[in-house]
Amino acid sequence: MHSKHYARTVKNRHRRLTRLAAGSGAALGVLSLALAAAGPAGAATADPPTAPPPVTILTSGAGHHGGDIFISPFGDASTYANGPEILSPSGGVIWFHAVPAGQEASDFRAQVYRGHRVLTWWQGTGLGGLASGSDYIFNSRYQQIAMVNAGNGYSADGHEFLITPWNTALILAYTTATADLTSIGGPASQTVIDGIVQEVDIRTGQVLFQWNSADHVPYSDSEQPLPASASTPWDWFHINALHLARDGNLLIDARNTWTAYKVNRHTGGIIWQLGGKHSSFTLQAANGQALDNAGELFAWQHDPNQVGPDLYTFFDNESSGTPQLPYSRAIVVRLDERSRTATLVRSYNQPEGLSAPSQGNAQTLPDGDAFVGWGSLPYFSEFSPAGGLLFNAEFPAGVNSYRAYRLPWPDGGGQYRR
């Protein structure tokens, strides 16, 4: 696999810090970057970009206790390379891996595989639609040690690649089918896009579990309008996240039904659903919080995570073009499964007051801070538990990262920066 690795320490800790991404170096010693001899000013070149986009630190207060920053910048491929990237809290490039031209990387993070910290990401084409790609695992020496593909004839989608505590992989895939939608006013043979969940044995590639959205959720639950043509694929479900609940069952998110599902990891049965047309819970907002214009906790959302016995976080896009709120937000929801109530207890609004029509994630750090990737918006931020903006950073226009994380990762001496 062709790649370029960069690392550069940025020592300027002023409140507004611009990181230039064209530095050189590598995480395991200095590598020289061979550059073609410069031609006349304005001369065209056939070589694709190899450097990541710069990041501007707008509010510098992230501190070093939360780990490094993991992003996968994508966009403006004529100027910058796409690929997974690790930044220090001050914006220095620790590692960057340029993917081949025409591809992108997503869901880049550090995870644990067989007792060791590893780097993982998806790489391929078509993220957001009928994507095609593979999931990669690199060790702490930045060497590939595994590649995971979807089974049963599917191709891995880039929305999720999660390694379980028992060293299997949870991945997503999209597939097309034909459905009779006459009961909801649609065609008798509409092409639809269904969401697939798989648990895959990393070493053998064997599919251990598979779940198809069409087997468990009615098409009538979708908030996505039908296309004008029966042959145009209708992305009615749009599966975009897959996490483990604390009891070992699955949390599956569907953007286009405005619903998060808790699913039995063994039988595939839905245990409960939050939001959407058939929520298992009555929705409400605590003092100082507000449901959206549709009376929902979230809309077009991403990334459900269980962060406490009864607490869950979500990235609430609130937009797919026409916003339900004028801004996106990360939210915390308390679920009372006995009373079947779901209460919005905390929210972190997008600092620039903007809405993200796609992508995004919300991570709770060990100290209670919230780290938020703003999806299709060119920002990522950190908030205190009380909601204060601690850190805010910006990509150039036209560049974004599907998700953004803060996670511990070893330095050159093998010590973990937390």
pLDDT in tens, 255-274: 999 999 999 999 999 999 99
User: Which pair of structure tokens corresponds to residue 295?
Assistant: 């009376």
Of the pLDDT bands very low, low, confident and very high (cuts 50, 70, 90), residue 230 is very high
At residue 70, the pLDDT reads: 98
pLDDT tops 80 at residue 41: no
- Rounded CA-CA distance 64/61 in Å is 9
Residue 267, classified by CB atoms within 10 Å of its CB into exposed (0-12), middle (13-18) or buried (19+), is exposed
Radius of gyration of the chain (CA): 21
At residue 391, the pLDDT reads: 96
Q: How far is residue 124 from each of residues 47, 78, 102, 357, measured CA to CA in Å? A: 20, 18, 8, 22
Name the residue among 350, 304, 19, 328 with its Cα closest to residue 160: 304
- Rounded CA-CA distance 275/69 in Å is 31
Mean local confidence (pLDDT), 17-21: 33
At residue 347, the pLDDT reads: 98
At residue 325, the pLDDT reads: 96
Backbone angles phi, psi at 384, to 5 degrees: -75, 165
DSSP 225: P
- Rounded CA-CA distance 118/138 in Å is 6
- Rounded CA-CA distance 315/365 in Å is 15
- Rounded CA-CA distance 381/280 in Å is 32
At residue 416, the pLDDT reads: 53
pLDDT in tens, 293-338: 999 999 999 999 999 999 999 999 999 988 999 999 999 999 999 9
- Rounded CA-CA distance 130/124 in Å is 11
pLDDT in tens, 180-229: 999 999 999 999 999 999 999 999 999 999 999 999 999 999 999 999 99
Backbone angles phi, psi at 256, to 5 degrees: -90, 0
At residue 322, the pLDDT reads: 84
For the chain, the helix, strand and coil percentages under 3-state DSSP, each to the nearest 5: 5, 45, 55
Please tell me the pTM assigned to this model.
0.88
Average the pLDDT over each of 21-35, 126-140, 172-186 and give the range with the smallest value.
21-35
At residue 14, the pLDDT reads: 32
Average the pLDDT over each of 33-37, 73-77, 362-366 and give the range with the smallest value.
33-37
Mean local confidence (pLDDT), 343-355: 98
pLDDT in tens, 50-59: 999 999 999 9
pLDDT in tens, 278-289: 999 999 999 999
Residue 11, classified by CB atoms within 10 Å of its CB into exposed (0-12), middle (13-18) or buried (19+), is exposed
Q: Amino acid identity of 372?
A: V
Per-chain mean pLDDT for the chain: 89
Label residues 189-209 b or e (16+ Cβ within 10 Å = b): ebbbbbbbbbbbebeeeeeee
- Rounded CA-CA distance 203/146 in Å is 8
At residue 210, the pLDDT reads: 98
Backbone angles phi, psi at 262, to 5 degrees: -95, 125
- Rounded CA-CA distance 331/295 in Å is 15
Q: Please report, to the nearest 10 degrees, the dihedral formed by the alpha carbons of residues 17, 22, 26, 32 taken in order.
A: -150
At residue 46, the pLDDT reads: 62
Q: Which 3 state secondary structure label does DSSP give 220?
A: helix
Of the pLDDT bands very low, low, confident and very high (cuts 50, 70, 90), residue 61 is confident
The number of angstroms, rounded, from the C-alpha of 268 to the middle of its chain's C-alpha atoms is: 23
Backbone angles phi, psi at 199, to 5 degrees: -105, 125
Residue 213, classified by CB atoms within 10 Å of its CB into exposed (0-12), middle (13-18) or buried (19+), is buried
Of the pLDDT bands very low, low, confident and very high (cuts 50, 70, 90), residue 60 is confident
The number of angstroms, rounded, from the C-alpha of 61 to the middle of its chain's C-alpha atoms is: 23
Higher pLDDT, 76 or 360: 360
pLDDT in tens, 155-191: 999 999 999 999 999 999 999 999 999 999 999 999 9
pLDDT tops 60 at residue 39: no
At residue 65, the pLDDT reads: 76
